[in-house]
Chains A and B, each alone.
Chain A
Amino acid sequence: MAKISVADKLGVNKFNVYEEKSHIVIDKQYPDAAEVDRVVRICPAALYTADANGVRFDYLGCLECGTCRVLSGGKVVTDWQYPVGSFGVSFRKS
């Protein structure tokens, strides 16, 4: 199989995006780069990115696994809820 990007992988999924607000809240200026890197690498959907300006997070494409919540223990991820009912990802094959 040809390698495809994580963004393209997410592109095959069905999402019903809740535009009003993110179900996950992060600390964009979290000071510890090593801690941020752990969250960046653990998210299966690669939704966290970090650069000199801080952490960026895109909740569209979230698989709702909760991994970032468990790893972060309240540090980078400050609040984690499920999306509003019926919104978010809908798996059809898994």
Chain B
Amino acid sequence: MDEKFDAIVVGGGLAGLAAAYAMAQEGLEVILVEKGVTCGSKNVTGGKICSHSIEKLFPDFGETAPLEREITKEVISSWRAEGISDAGIDPQHFGLTESRSYTVSRAKLDAWFAEQAEAAGVMMIQGIVVNDLIVREGKVCGIIADGDALEADVVILAEGVNGLLAQSLGMIPELMPEETCVGTKEVIELGEALINERFGLADGEGVEWMAIGDTADGQYADGFLYTNKDTVSVGVEFLISDIDKTQKSIPELLEDFKALPEIAKLIDDGLLVEYASHLVKKSKSDKIGKLYGEGVLLVGDAAGLVANAGWVVRGMDLAVESGRLAAEAVIRSNASGDFSEGSLASYQKAVESSFIAADMKICADYLNQ
């Protein structure tokens, strides 16, 4: 392949798919390279997606996308040695961007999104790792994937939290244990009827339950539970640097959470169907780094765009929005033929004046109060 594309997208998570889809919709020639066999097969979330941003791309998202349940009940608890109690946190109080939200399986959601992108004209390459970037005179000109070189006017790095390529360019610093959490979860099958019964839900209704570890009480992990259609996702999120404050291992902390009587009775007799783990940044700072360079843009987790204060973890809606905003900047550059830093800088301004920056600030203010 030595054809030149308008844009190359590295990574087919929500950020990359949103960028690729929005550019293809405007007629740009886009290629997306994803290392998983299919989009979503490497991706993990809690989790629920706040649908406001993806609805800008798919107005009928709630009706057509593969969603598990709509969140109708949000509970925030405090997790102490003696058990779980009300945390006294009212999420409405903080002014985070309001949205409907749905539990999702990334394997299903991202695969669906990939189909929409392909239908819009994106050339989808799945099962290939991008190993390197082609850089000439300080400008990113393309990628090296599986020995092949591909070139484009612009490369969008949507590679997720372990941003190895963005790091190799020096655009983002290495992740620090003090501001990075590991999330580990089990997907447990219970059946739709039993979930409805145990959680007091009607068909299609869902629960988000966050249990914030009380560090003063020696409880360093946060727990979470989400109801999917016929499974529940139960997991813990743990700030990596806290490993020196506890003697426990991550698998032990997850078992501790599952053994709490309030949780144990909900998952009793369930069948484990998946065990997954992934990193997520904590929003200790609301500083947004430089998201653009010559011929390159960063989107989603690769750009550190996540609103995570423990009791709220939102990255998917930020990923989609940043992907869409990056696409808008590239569409403008494509029209003017100017792909210099100065032209791509409009993307940075768009992110900084969007809900992304506002929600990250709310989380950082909460954590630093």
The closest CB in chain B to the CB of A70 belongs to: B175
B243 to chain A, nearest CB (A): 5
Query: Which of B43, B127, B255 interacts with A91 by CB under 8 Å?
Result: B43
Q: B180 to chain A: which residues have CB within 8 Å?
A: 70
- The answer to the question of B185 belonging to the interface, with a C-beta cut-off of 8 Å to chain A, is yes
Q: Which of B38, B161, B250, B254 has the most CB of A within 10 A?
A: B250
Q: Known: A1-B269, A66-B161, A93-B231. Is A86-B37 also a contact (CB below 8 A)?
A: yes
The closest CB in chain A to the CB of B246 belongs to: A41
Contact A94 B185 (CB under 8 A): yes
Distance, CA A91 to CA B44, complexed state (A): 8
B225 to chain A, nearest CB (A): 13
Distance, CA A70 to CA B164, complexed state (A): 12
Q: Known: A9-B186, A9-B275, A64-B42. Is A82-B129 also a contact (CB below 8 A)?
A: yes
At the interface, is chain A mostly helix, strand, loop or mixed? loop
Contact A4 B240 (CB under 8 A): no
Contact A42 B272 (CB under 8 A): no
Q: B36 to chain A: which residues have CB within 8 Å?
A: 86, 90
Query: Which of B128, B161, B185, B275 interacts with A10 by CB under 8 Å?
Result: B275
What is the interface size of chain B, counting residues whose CB is below 8 A from a CB of the partner?
A: 59
Q: B175 to chain A: which residues have CB within 8 Å?
A: 66, 70
Contact A44 B251 (CB under 8 A): yes
B103 to chain A, nearest CB (A): 11
Contact A85 B129 (CB under 8 A): yes
- The answer to the question of B196 belonging to the interface, with a C-beta cut-off of 8 Å to chain A, is no
Query: Which of B247, B269, B274 interacts with A94 by CB under 8 Å?
Result: B274
Q: A71 to chain B: which residues have CB within 8 Å?
A: 177, 240, 243
Contact A89 B42 (CB under 8 A): yes
- The answer to the question of B282 belonging to the interface, with a C-beta cut-off of 8 Å to chain A, is no
Distance, CA A25 to CA B120, complexed state (A): 41
Contact A41 B275 (CB under 8 A): no
Q: A46 to chain B: which residues have CB within 8 Å?
A: 249, 251
A14 to chain B, nearest CB (A): 8
Contact B107 A70 (CB under 8 A): no
- The answer to the question of B314 belonging to the interface, with a C-beta cut-off of 8 Å to chain A, is no
Q: B105 to chain A: which residues have CB within 8 Å?
A: 93-94
- The answer to the question of A21 belonging to the interface, with a C-beta cut-off of 8 Å to chain B, is no
Distance, CA A64 to CA B247, complexed state (A): 23
Within 8 A of B (CB), among A1-53: 1, 3-4, 6, 9-10, 12-13, 16, 38, 40-46
Distance, CA A66 to CA B279, complexed state (A): 7
Q: Known: A41-B250, A91-B42. Is A9-B272 also a contact (CB below 8 A)?
A: yes
Q: A86 to chain B: which residues have CB within 8 Å?
A: 35-37, 126-128
Contact A1 B188 (CB under 8 A): yes
Seed contacts A40-B249, A92-B274; 12 additional CB < 8 Å A-B pairs: A1-B268, A12-B275, A13-B276, A41-B243, A44-B254, A44-B277, A82-B164, A85-B129, A85-B146, A89-B42, A93-B273, A94-B44
Interface set of A (CB-CB < 8 Å, partner B): 1, 3-4, 6, 9-10, 12-13, 16, 38, 40-46, 63-67, 69-71, 73, 81-86, 88-94
